[in-house]
Chain A
Amino acid sequence: MEGSTQDKVITALKDRYEDQILHIDTPYDFLTVSLKKEKIVEIIQFLYNHPDTKFQYLTTLCGIHYPELNQIAVMYQLHNLVANQRIRLKIYLPAENPVTPTITPIFAGANWLERETYDFFGVIFEGHPNLKRILNVEDMIIFPLRKEFPLEDQRREDKNDTMFGR
């Protein structure tokens, strides 16, 4: 039964947004769709409304930094609570200028999640009602979850870890 829902979702998505899909995969039975960044809000709205998909619950949203590709991915994870179908959507933004529209008009719960993603990755969500840092101090100038920021000061001399690395 779950397979058929999943097929329906893929069909519905492909019918309308074939050109936007970069890649479809199901790692660990979890439908994952990589998309082009341009129409993400439209697609989420489409998945929200379409009778076959009805992804009306935002489970989570987060950023992922890929320094070697110079990209920041934003992952949206949606859930259809009626059919118990989950989907993960990913878009890839350039790391120098990660800008994407907000999804707060669709999901009120995206508000803080987007603020958190801004806080840690510097992704700017256009149209967000209150896009400022949430967990870190406001005068911070870095985006700490990007890979280039080391966990601790590398110049520390009080720790000797020559044997096992840091």
Chain B
Amino acid sequence: MNVNQPVIEQEEKVEEKQYSYLNLGPTHPATHGIFQNVLKMDGEIIVEAEPTIGYIHRAFEKLAERRPFYQITPLTDRMNYCSSPINNMGWHMTVEKLIGLEIPKRVQYLRVIIMELARISDHIICNTIIGQDTGATTGFLYLFQMREKIYEIFEEICGARLTTNIGRIGGLERDIPQKAWDKIDKFLVEFPIAFKEFTSLLERNRIFMDRTIGCGPISAERALSYSFSGPNLRAAGVDYDVRVMTPYSSYEEFDFIIPVGSNGDTYDRFMVRQEEMWQSLSIIKQAIEKVKKEPAGIFSARTPEFCLPPKEEVYNDMEALIYHFKIVMGETEIPKGEVYHCVEGGNGELGFYLISDGGRTPYRLQFRRPCFIYYQAYPEMIKGSMLSDAVITMSSMNVIAGELDA
């Protein structure tokens, strides 16, 4: 049939309004992960949205009940895989809190450096993708090289890039090598240049501003009711940051500001993340200065019962071999108790609620996954907006499928 053939106009009027239904996802290139939204559309306006999640659910909470504590770290990698070092260290700190391990200052600063690098890489992904979804591919490519540089640093530190499994309970597995320090120094010089370029492309770009201001807004009140956290909550104007509220890993010693927005729209979320990257950069610089003042060579608490000994000692020293065996076989004495520890992940308050019954595995472990909690506000945020706004609202919320489904 020829589609261009003119159709005879029908006279009869349609009494009821006709809605069309559209499946956005599960595998749509604009959704950045596997989740589905069934949209009820009036023309191009979204009337209702029904999200379906769980496409990559991997039952981490059940798996964690059958794994020794140190084997849970790789599971946390796969939650927010854009900033897995934060997840890893959040988990290590939870276990350290449970067993009451004192962490040397130098290790805490090293962790801060790694975590802030991870935060920058997380925010790079989110912000460049907002640019990409609004049609600005250039900025995306500019900053993605810098993300590559961060992954190279991670590679020097732990050998892996995306799912890092970085660090161990009690500290890091090895000291940060000189090569990694060199790369960090280089990054601190190169990143501001690239980032400024990116900033000048988008931040005060009239087209970008028109596109994003007022798009997918949420009020502070609703955001709090939905238990938002992280940049999305701060964009709505609430200055809640776990790093300041309940400092961990010596964050109280650092000087940084928490950027807040006012409207909670896509532009504010973008700007909050932009400013956070600058702040992270400043925190890294401060941490490097602090590391230099600490005695060199300390990279772990080295409490033999809980911290894995370095490999060379395992092969040459009887005692280290015994402890290595005990830890790997899960024969460590973990106290009974329940503990909650939260860190400021890339997307907000990443919490670990751990109940230990003194056994070799957790009795119950719940991950407070910020994505999972704030994504439920998505239907409310896109109601009444255009389809294309829904796409950039989602990318500006930084919904990571791994964290959503756990």
Contact = CB atoms under 8 A, between A and B. Distances in A.
A43 interface: no
A27 B366 contact: no
A56 interface: yes
Nearest to A28: B339
B65 A109 contact: no
Contact of B338 (A27, A65, A145, A166): A27
A60 B364 CA distance: 14
A46 interface: no
B54 interface: yes
A136 B373 contact: no
Given A109-B226, A112-B372, A60 B351 contact: yes
B245 interface: yes
Given A135-B57, A136-B57, A151-B65, A112 B376 contact: yes
A27 B335 CA distance: 12
Given A135-B54, A144-B62, A109 B338 contact: no
A10 interface: no
B406 to A, nearest CB: 8
Interface string A69-104: 000000101000100101010000000000000000
B227 A107 contact: yes
Interface residues of B, number: 43
B227 A88 contact: no
A109 B61 contact: no
A60 to B, nearest CB: 4
Contacts of A108: 222, 225-226, 376-377
Interface string A36-61: 00000000000000000000111110
Nearest to A149: B62
Contacts of A56: 224
Contacts of A134: 53-54
A135 B376 CA distance: 13
| Dominant SS among interface residues on chain A | mixed
Contacts of A131: none
Contact of B53 (A58, A84, A135): A135
A166 B342 CA distance: 30
A120 interface: yes
A94 B383 CA distance: 40
B7 interface: no
A64 interface: yes
A12 interface: no
B116 interface: no
A139 B194 CA distance: 50
B225 A107 contact: yes
A72 B374 CA distance: 26
Contacts of B222: 108
A111 B227 CA distance: 11
Interface in B331-352: 337-340, 342, 349, 351
Contact of A58 (B227, B329, B337, B375): B227
B329 A164 contact: yes
Nearest to B65: A151
Given A134-B53, A135-B405, A59 B351 contact: yes
Given A60-B353, A62-B353, A62-B366, 7 more contacts: A27-B339, A28-B98, A28-B337, A75-B353, A112-B375, A135-B405, A145-B61
Interface of A: 27-28, 30, 32, 56-60, 62, 64-65, 75, 77, 81, 84, 86, 88, 107-109, 111-113, 116, 120, 134-137, 144-145, 151, 164, 166
